[in-house]
Structure 1
Amino acid sequence: MRKRLIFNAFSMNAVSHVYHGLWRHPQTRQTELNQLSTWVELAGILEKGRFDALFLADVIGVDKGHNGSWDVYLKEGIHFPANDPSVLAAALIGATTNLGLTFTSSILQSHPFDFARRVSTLDHLSGGRVGWNIVTTTSRNAAANFGFDEPVPHDERYRWADEYVEVAYKLWEGSWDDDAVRLDRTAQVYADPTRIRTIDHVGPRYRVAGPHLTSPSPQRTPVLIQAGSSRAGRAFAARNAEATFVVCLTPEAARSAIADIRVELAKAGRRPEDLLFFQGLSFVVGSTEEEAWRKARAIDDYVSTDGLAAHVGRDLGIDFGLLDPQKPVADYKIEGLQGFTQFFEEANPGKRARLVDLVTAMSYNGRIVGTPEQIADRLEDWQDAGIDGVNVAYQTTPGSFVDFIDHVMPVLRERGLAQRDYAPGTLRERLFPGRPAFLARNHPAARFRHPQRQAAE
């Protein structure tokens, strides 16, 4: 029996998330993004299927990244409109009992004092089921939305992120002692003033006095996730994250990326088991391989190539709309595309990659089409490469998740690759069996704990 994989449903409170154009499919609820019933239904399906968490992506701006315009993003609903995922997570707390609720929030969009208070509130109300996907936004429009003339330079964003999380750690971990709440009705003492303190943070960007306005929540600090793939991003994840979201092209590429990040993890004084790796994948399931591919082709009839190009190009900082999609990629000599070009041409011997080929390959490299047994085999390959879990992307919602839960999960459970029921405890305790609800002692946030609390651990 293998170690079980972690399964998160990867979604976004938007019309179109990963597979653009599919909002037109007659069997999806993507256009019902503003209806709470859409999300309550999905959360119920995921909880019944024993998914670990709902992982909500986000953006805070829309850029003119295709044909020098933002028209395609608006016309095709590509990450626009996009509602606040933390508000959606709050709304789903009462509709769920065990499902983790992980949402994305950028260092750009909220002051860390306000953010820390909001997260502690969510962690209290959910009984410790909250996770935070930490992002450092690159969008030009997002920068303008928050008063910046230009996006903050790459490495500077991560220096900013270091201070941002430091402020949050001080509030979550250091402001209140575990025994600060006394609830002594006779002595009229709710909280012991000697067990609560200010943080008096003074840094390049923030001055925060404290104390934290919220008492310690079940996890204190939410489960921390980060998805940076750059050198600075990987180093930040190694220092701070408990899970990192990767989108590797193959299991072999995942093996290499994981080894690289684990080098950074050791430099940060942390252990290999302190960081989980979630690979982004999607699935089309059939009772036979032929049926699965027939379903995949029917789904692809709705796909927008323009939408895929606009999404991929925006993330890479390349306006594919201004380039000839039929021209070989090599003719453009775009440095950032060379690795993807090599992957495509190795997978298609004798064929020179065109831009249209590359856009499709980059969007679809994480899709697995086959029978439940074939999908389970492939997931074993990913696990052997070092992956701890999967962020399952949908093509139709909730249909893609229903198919996976009804047909693939039983096979995975037989192989020990999926949980049969939820373990007790917080989200952190479920993701890291045998560990406490709080962050590990070797996490950098632990240094902000009061010496008395550190000594007791």
Structure 2
Amino acid sequence: MTGRREIVLNAFTMNCVGHINHGLWTHPCDRSGDYTKLSYWTDLAKTLERGLFDAVFIADIVGVYDVYGGSIDLTARESIQLPVNEPTLLVPAMAAVTRDLGFGVTVNISGEHPYTFARRFSTLDHLTEGRIGWNVVTGYLDSAARAVGLDAMVEHDTRYDRADDYLALLYKLWEASWEDDALRRDREKRVYADPSRIRRIEHDGPFYRSSGVHLAEPSPQRTPVIFQAGTSGRGKQFAARHAECVFIFAPDKATARRVSRGIREEVVAAGRRAEDVKVIAGVSIVAAETAGAAREKFDDYVRHASPEAGLAHFAAGSGIDFQSYELDEAIPYGPTNAIQSTTQLARQSGFTKRQLLEQLALGGRYATIVGTGDEVAAEMRSWIEEGEIDGFNLTRTVVPESFEDFVRFVVPALQEIGLHKAEYRPGSLRRKLFGAGDRLPERHAAAAYRFRGGVPAR
């Protein structure tokens, strides 16, 4: 890595009050409580486009964090991703006030059949003129399973098996139901679409069945840019087949490098190129005009943050009720059905409750960079080079000032050292990210489902 190529830069947020860095809703400058107002989101979109962010990455959960203490008491009091509103409805409003900003939206496969989901994301791809991406998640909260009538969440690897089948049907609908020349829009002949160029999709998979024509005409990208965040063994297999952007949690550069290399090795083994996947690490940044001002701002944020709320969030991800342990008591990090990579990292480190709370000083466990624009940019370059990653999901702290400060102080410094773009590349989100076409390349798994010479490939 040379350190001179442009990074991928996403804003990481959620349609709720408390997202990653918990407790900061209590800061007098924080406006996250306005998340129910449309202006909150359109103003954010304008700020991000001014800073030439590639996308806003909108997280989501279905369910509540009720592992810590066996209840939602702390979750409700500190608004730990509760309440949380639906994410996709934000996209058209933000797209209307921007021209180039992309949108990576999290949607759990368990919430909707692939047939209707395909239309929803084709619609978003049309309305954004090709700027939509989908963060594929399989879920991990038992509370979400119980809320829809199940006893518990499906076993971890089976969830990915289901996701493979989900994507197979989606690829057929997005890539094969309508041929490229199906749309005629011929007023004189009264032919909007040529029925001979539209095909009924037949799918009889291990988890999903469908027999129907895709309801939406082909959108600019057809298949949205595929984001994914699972880095367990099975998660990396899924990413190798499907993902274009993989979001990782890495507390340090050495971990980032190890995880990044593992992902790229899986991608190559799956018949793709290492550069077909962008590896993106989560990071929290506190920037100001001087180093002293940045440190003062960070210390001020820490006074408002809630490490315990961060621990409750981590409890849900690991499946361990940390409230039941003493500060220095050994914690048995056994296998759970939650986020395997989260539990594995904690088990390898042998964290006690006290150590976790120390890591959660800002309310979240993401790597934190504090300093001037030049200092932050230099550290981000170090992460790119030593961590062998492609970019960052910038988590919010106090909003909107955390994003505004980044645009004011850090973006010019990144541009100065050649790590951030001076202007957007034209075209779709996929074209902007990879510098190639709007559609998935032929070496991607989706290409196997395309029609060739009038014959379906699969």
Q: When the two structures are superposed, what TM-score results if normalisation uses the length of structure 1?
A: 0.94
How far residue 91 of structure 1 moved from its aligned partner, in angstroms, is 2.7
In 2, the alpha carbon distance for the partners of 1:138 and 1:364 equals 19
Residues 398 and 83 from structure 1, CA distance in 2 versus in 1: closer, same or farther, beyond 3 angstroms? same
Q: Which residue of 1 aligns with 2:340?
A: none
In 1, the alpha carbon distance for the partners of 2:357 and 2:122 equals 40
Q: Indicate if the aligned counterparts of 2:284 and 2:366 stay in contact, CA closer than 8 A.
A: no
In 1, the alpha carbon distance for the partners of 2:198 and 2:140 equals 37
Q: Indicate if the aligned counterparts of 1:281 and 1:390 stay in contact, CA closer than 8 A.
A: yes
Aligned mate of 2:356, from 352, 355, 358: 358
Residues 163 and 342 from structure 1, CA distance in 2 versus in 1: closer, same or farther, beyond 3 angstroms? closer
How far residue 48 of structure 1 moved from its aligned partner, in angstroms, is 1.1
For the aligned residue pairs, the C-alpha RMSD in angstroms reads: 1.7
Residues 213 and 338 from structure 1, CA distance in 2 versus in 1: closer, same or farther, beyond 3 angstroms? closer
Aligned mate of 1:231, from 230, 233, 239: 233
Aligned mate of 2:272, from 257, 270, 273: 270
In 1, the alpha carbon distance for the partners of 2:366 and 2:109 equals 30
Q: Which residue of 1 aligns with 2:56?
A: 54
Post-superposition CA distance 1:224-276 (Å, at most 9, x none)? 00000211011101110001000111111111111111221122111101100
Counting only pairs closer than 5 Å after superposition, residues 230-379 of structure 1 correspond to structure 2 as: 230-324=232-326, 326-328=327-329, 331-335=330-334, 339-340=345-346, 354-361=352-359, 363-379=364-380
- The DSSP-based 3-state class of the residue aligned with 1:20 is coil
Q: Indicate if the aligned counterparts of 2:374 and 2:410 stay in contact, CA closer than 8 A.
A: yes
Q: Which runs of 4+ in 1 moved over 6 A?
A: none
Question: For structure 1, which runs of at least 5 residues remain unmatched after alignment?
Answer: 345-352
The answer to whether 1:203 aligns with 2:171 is no
What letter is aligned with 1:451? R
Question: For structure 2, which runs of at least 5 residues remain unmatched after alignment?
Answer: 336-342
How far residue 333 of structure 1 moved from its aligned partner, in angstroms, is 3.8
What letter is aligned with 2:331? Y
What letter is aligned with 1:249? P
What letter is aligned with 1:286? A
- The DSSP-based 3-state class of the residue aligned with 1:299 is helix
% identical aligned pairs: 42
Q: Which residue of 2 aligns with 1:44?
A: 46
What letter is aligned with 1:370? G
Q: When the two structures are superposed, what TM-score results if normalisation uses the length of structure 2?
A: 0.93
In 1, the alpha carbon distance for the partners of 2:344 and 2:186 equals 66
In 1, the alpha carbon distance for the partners of 2:380 and 2:242 equals 27
What letter is aligned with 1:356? R
What letter is aligned with 1:334? Y
Residues 253 and 39 from structure 1, CA distance in 2 versus in 1: closer, same or farther, beyond 3 angstroms? same
Residues 189 and 213 from structure 1, CA distance in 2 versus in 1: closer, same or farther, beyond 3 angstroms? same
Aligned mate of 2:81, from 79, 82, 104: 79
- The DSSP-based 3-state class of the residue aligned with 1:259 is helix
Q: Indicate if the aligned counterparts of 1:283 and 1:369 stay in contact, CA closer than 8 A.
A: yes
Q: Indicate if the aligned counterparts of 2:284 and 2:396 stay in contact, CA closer than 8 A.
A: yes
What letter is aligned with 1:357? Q
In 2, the alpha carbon distance for the partners of 1:421 and 1:335 equals 48
| Structure 1 stretch displaced more, 373-382 or 163-172 | 373-382
How far residue 365 of structure 1 moved from its aligned partner, in angstroms, is 4.4
Q: Which residue of 1 aligns with 2:339?
A: none
Q: Which residue of 2 aligns with 1:350?
A: none
> Matched residue pairs, number?
443
Post-superposition CA distance 1:403-437 (Å, at most 9, x none)? 1110010010011111111111000000001x110
Residues 364 and 129 from structure 1, CA distance in 2 versus in 1: closer, same or farther, beyond 3 angstroms? same
